[in-house]
Amino acid sequence: SEAARGEGGILRNALGERFMSRYDPVRMELSTRDRVALASYTEIKEGRGTPNGGVWLDVSHLPRHTIMTRLPRVYQTLLDLQMLDITREPIEIAPTAHYSMGGVWVRPEDHSTDVRGLYAIGEASSGLHGANRLGGNSLIELLVFGRITGRAAAAYSQSLTAQPRSASAIAEARVEIDDLLVADGPEKV
């Protein structure tokens, strides 16, 4: 949706209203991802969503040439997967979670928690970015805090005594993991 909004796509609810004027009247569809997602979610939850639980992203008002040159992959993907010609019809979209930005509260100096020996970084921790992480920032956050946290965890583990595990418990765990990896179901693992 971001690329289409950037090219002039308009967000509308099921009533046909251009709803971003209620949430960010200055930037409208060019608002930040977190605001657009929250606005879309609000429209859906307040009963102004589509029957499938979404909102409309419309680029059909743009010249066909613009869509074909600026959004060729969006055009082709929707045509192939949904037989939807976005030069004529709106795209049904809904907010989704593709990255979690919050979780375990950690100490800033080493990302340790109140549970001895438990450390967390990235999506599992209370990260740096609030509700609007920028695309490339996740990787650098993982590299920086991975190094800091790895050192802290290694230092902590040096004082621990190794706990022997039974060979049968290890074998049983391996079988469980192997069963997951070779499972032939609808979900990818």
Encoded amino acid at 30, one letter: L
Which of these is catalytic: 18, 33, 48, 70? 33
Please give the structure tokens belonging to residue 62.
């743009």
Angstrom distance (rounded) from CA 9 to CA 36: 13
48 in active site: no
DSSP-assigned states of every residue in 83-102: ---TTTSPEEE----SS---
* Helices assigned H by DSSP within the chain: 2-6, 20-23, 33-43, 64-70, 72-82, 137-158, 167-182
**The pair of three-digit structure tokens given for residue 58, joined into one six-digit string:** 């419309």
In single-letter form, the type of residue at position 91 comes to I
∠ CA(77), CA(28), CA(138), 5° rounding? 60
Active centre residues (catalytic): 33
